[in-house]
Amino acid sequence: MAIVVNLDVMMAKRKMSLNELSEKVDLTLSNLSILKTGKAKAIRFSTLTALCKALDCQPGDLLEFVDETT
């Protein structure tokens, strides 16, 4: 996958558990886990907005482009 989700990094920086984040953004633990492990195929802007608000970060802090051709 060329887009990497750094949700675990931001959660660690904010010292926030998956359970706490789940409550703040109103997403199930399983959906957050899919994002955290990089198995998600897409993310809604509303979800990205909620994550950014809860983690006090920018979308670029959560998403990273990795060029797999090099």
Taking a C-beta distance cutoff of 8 angstroms, is the pair 10, 62 a contact? yes
Domain count of the chain? 1
**What pLDDT shows up at residue 69?**
79
Residue range(s) defining the domain that contains residue 29: 3-65
Segment-wise mean pLDDT, segments of 10 residues, the chain, 70 residues: 89 96 96 93 95 97 88
| Per-residue pLDDT at 2 | 86
Classify residue 56: in a domain, yes or no: yes
- Please give the angle made by the CA atoms of 33, 9 and 22, to the nearest 5 degrees: 40
pLDDT at 1: 55
The dihedral through the CA atoms of 39, 42, 44, 49 has a sign that is positive
Flag whether the pTM goes above 0.85. yes
Tell me whether residue 70 is in a domain: no
What confidence score (pLDDT) does residue 70 get? 62
